[in-house]
Amino acid sequence: MRLYDIGTHTERVSLEHAVFKGLSENGSLYMPESIPQLPPSFFEEIDQMSFSDLSFEVAKALIGDDIPENALRNIIEDAIDFPAPLVSLDEDCGVLELFHGPSLAFKDFGARFMARVMSYFLKKRGGHLHILVATSGDTGGAVAAGFYGTPNIRVSILYPSGKVSPLQEKQLTTWGKNITALEIKGSFDDCQALVKQAFTDPDLAHLPLSSANSINIARLIPQTFYYFEAFRQVPRERRERVVFSVPSGNFGNLTAGLIAKRMGLPAKFIAATNANRVVPDYLERAEFRPRPSIATLSNAMDVGNPSNFSRMLELYGSTWNIGGRGFWSVRGNFDPARVAAQLNHLRFYIMRGDFDPARRLTQLNHLRFHIMRGDFDATRAGRPAQSPLVRKKTMPFSPAIELSRNQRREAFWSVRGDFDPARVAAQLNHLGFQVMHGDSDPVRAGRRSSTTLGQGGERCSTWNMMREDVQGASFTDEETIQGIQKYFDKYHYTFDPHGAIGMLAWEKLRNEGEYGIILETAHPAKFLETMESALGRKVEIPRQLQAVADREKVSIVMEAGYEGFKGYLLKMGASEEIR
């Protein structure tokens, strides 16, 4: 399994490197160079597979020979030793219960798998490791449970003070041994920022730091498993139009589902959020605008700048320059946030020149990249950018016409340089545009490359392509409480605040003939006060939670500033001994 950094698309690393580093040298996330398609036989035989069997087949396809098959099977059987049942609500929908692991949250799948993969690689390479994890609720408890007692691995969990439920906090702060809880006076975004800054700090480069957040690719791999397990449990006659409604915060869970789709899972998705609705806003208006997180009852989704959104963009077109193969094109209204993600780290300028495919590499400095306007007008070429680009278009884009013009060696527009969304938005906003990459053959302009975008078809933008598979919806705390009450009365099913938002989103966006799968990501007892207030009755506490409820909380309270956190890491790094 080879992975690349999505910031520059230049760094290529192994799975082992990506697992231990978490982020690339420039602070970007890693993505697989290629996502394999599962063979038709996998889906033909899925009804006869156990959860462990199908998980192994999916993992083997993704990971390849980085982990030997016998070791990989042992990792999966040891890590995922609990079920993911699909509980039917009615003939059109069911609930995928992901809370049957030790910490009663879906994060158990990723944390336990990751702990065992790290342990496998650590035995090979030797040494020790310090795991940093930021949590808005469930991640920290799952990571603590997954890594507790793991030899040569220390874990530091950063959580926002006063912004997790009491039982969640007990799951973070009562472990001891190799688990340390850092209570940060700030938001989850502050916690996440501290972790990210630590990974790019040259003063900490000598420390063996890694991450267990969903920024780490090892967290996403096992999360793909239960999408296939859910599909296996859907009645065969309903499998053609499956929709997963995914409660979403940092969007690792939804990204895992989209990876499963790339592997062949026939499904669509709903991004269900609380008041932190930056991704539903993007899906609605093509504007991605991170903002400070808002505290809600569904606290695990209180994320204002979801890290995995950049991975979602990669899955829908931003892998255009991998290997310099082929080309891709995009047409649509210019959106600075979308194009910034696609063109980030390229130097930017607008130039005029005679188009000659043979001389293209010289003209464009070997970037294998150019942007051609859809309404080519040689008489306007060469004027200041503001002048030709804001005028009303006069001619549609046509590959044949462009070829004729290029043969006549007429002028064209191309761009590269330090990308300034505000400046380019003023020039190109609301104008149709074409982006082409690779072999600059105008005859092929507008076709898709099978290596980067998969199936052929009509040209469309990253935003439009994502919207073909993903819809978004968000709900207030008041609506969440009403949903918990409504679905308990209607189905006699107890949704936690996150699952209730998933169900609300499914009801809002469902279409005739679809089968909805709502991901119930945490046990409702983890939100005891909210649940008992909403339902007006006592909620039974599972034995796992009851066991930690009476334990003493132990945490290190810390300001949200980086220097204090850096000092803590340096102090911990001074001693290799893991408690």
Rounded to 5 degrees, φ, ψ at 535 are -95, -15
Tokens matching residue 90:
């009615």
Please, are residues 345 and 27 in contact by the beta-carbon 8 Å criterion?
no
CATH fold label, 221-308+468-542:
Rossmann fold (3.40.50)
pTM above threshold 0.75: no
Exactly one of 21, 60, 107, 392 is catalytic; name it. 107
Q: Is 520 helix (H, G, I), strand (E, B) or coil?
A: strand
Domain extent listing, the chain: 221-308+468-542, 329-447
Please, are residues 328 and 449 in contact by the beta-carbon 8 Å criterion?
yes
Cα dist from 519 to 31, 224, 292, 351, 485, whole Å? 24, 13, 26, 50, 18
Closest CA to 436 of 358, 369, 377: 369
SS in 3 state form for 60-91? HHHHCCCCCHHHHHHHHHHHCCCCCCEEEEEC
| Antiparallel, parallel or unpaired: β 556-559 and 30-32 | unpaired
Matching residue, tokens 């296996």: 232
Active-site residue 196, yes or no? no
* 398 contacts: CB under 8 Å, gap ≥ 6: none
- Rounded distance, CA 407 to CA 138, Å? 60
pLDDT in tens, the chain (579 residues): 999 988 877 889 999 999 988 888 778 899 998 899 999 999 999 999 999 999 999 999 999 999 999 999 999 999 999 999 999 999 999 999 999 999 899 999 999 999 999 999 988 888 889 999 998 777 888 889 888 988 889 999 999 999 888 888 998 999 999 999 999 999 988 998 999 899 889 999 899 998 887 788 999 999 999 999 999 999 999 999 999 999 999 999 999 999 999 999 999 999 999 999 999 999 998 888 888 889 899 988 999 989 899 999 889 874 333 333 323 333 334 344 444 444 433 333 233 333 333 333 233 233 323 333 333 333 333 333 322 222 223 333 333 443 343 344 333 333 333 334 444 444 433 333 333 333 323 222 232 322 222 233 333 467 888 999 999 999 999 999 999 999 999 999 999 999 999 999 999 999 999 999 999 999 999 898 999 999 999 888 898 888 888 889 999 999 999 999 999 999 988 665 444
- Rounded distance, CA 5 to CA 29, Å? 6
H-helix segments, 263-410: 278-285, 309-313, 336-343, 360-363, 386-390, 399-407
324 φψ region: left (φ > 0), alpha (ψ -120 to 50), beta (else): left
Tokens matching residue 519:
């991901």
Burial of 302 (0-12, 13-18, 19+ CB in 10 A): buried
Q: What angle do CA 126, 131, 135 make, to 5 degrees?
A: 160
The DSSP secondary-structure symbol of 318 reads I
Tokens matching residue 515:
């089968």
* 113 contacts: CB under 8 Å, gap ≥ 6: 75, 76, 79, 80, 218, 219, 221, 222
Q: Is 181 helix (H, G, I), strand (E, B) or coil?
A: strand
